[in-house]
Amino acid sequence: MKLKSDVHILNKRAKFEYIILDRYTAGIVLYGTEIKSIREGKASLVDSYCAVEHGEMYVKQMHIAEYRFGSYANHEAKRDRKLLLNKKEIRKLEKATKDTGKTIIPLEIFINEKGLAKMEIALCQGKHTYDKRQSLREADDKKQMDQLKKHIYE
């Protein structure tokens, strides 16, 4: 039995702000009310980042709204959450972030076919202002081309 989930919470600013160098998929350690809020789509990756502490990877500043039916045992909205990665991957990412200008950014939260919450993270390097302008220009050109194609085929 495969579960198909429509939950895909994206960090839309990540591709605009950073150059993505390498991608990883990690599990997330969550409380019961947190997974229920994620399944409702009530989470945000804006301003969140990942850091290695004591040989373990954590996602910081990720906002998961409190569960509306939660009781006194509801979770904190912006607590640090542990990510589940192999030791080898954690060491590789920790070594890479020692370089200047590189950081680990969460790209997406999704529910896999087993019903577990997963996070796609990426090793990134910050873009310069001129790179961001180039990205905007490319997106604008693509939009104009799509409009022309649509207009021609109508």
Give the C-alpha separation, 124 to 56, whole Å.
19
Q: For residue 119, list its beta bridge partners.
A: 26, 109
Task: Select the CATH number that applies to the domain covering 8-127 from these four: 2.40.280.10, 3.30.420.10, 3.40.605.10, 1.25.10.10.
Answer: 2.40.280.10
Residue ranges of domains in the chain = 8-127
Q: What is the pLDDT of residues 87-138, one digit of tens each?
A: 999 999 988 888 777 899 999 999 988 888 999 999 998 877 777 788 888 8
pLDDT greater than 80 at residue 154: no
How many residues in the chain? 154
Which residues, other chains included, contact 126 with Cβ-Cβ below 8 Å and sequence gap of 6+?
Answer: 17, 18, 19, 101, 103
Q: Which of 27, 24, 5, 19 is nearest to 135 (CA)?
A: 19
pLDDT tens per residue, range 71-80: 777 777 788 8
pLDDT at 1: 44
Share of the chain above pLDDT 70, in %: 95
Q: Please give the backbone phi and psi of residue 138, each rounded to the nearest 5 degrees, phi first.
A: -65, -40
Give the global pTM: 0.76
Give the three-state DSSP class for 96: helix
Give the model's pLDDT for residue 25: 94
**13 against 23, higher pLDDT:** 23
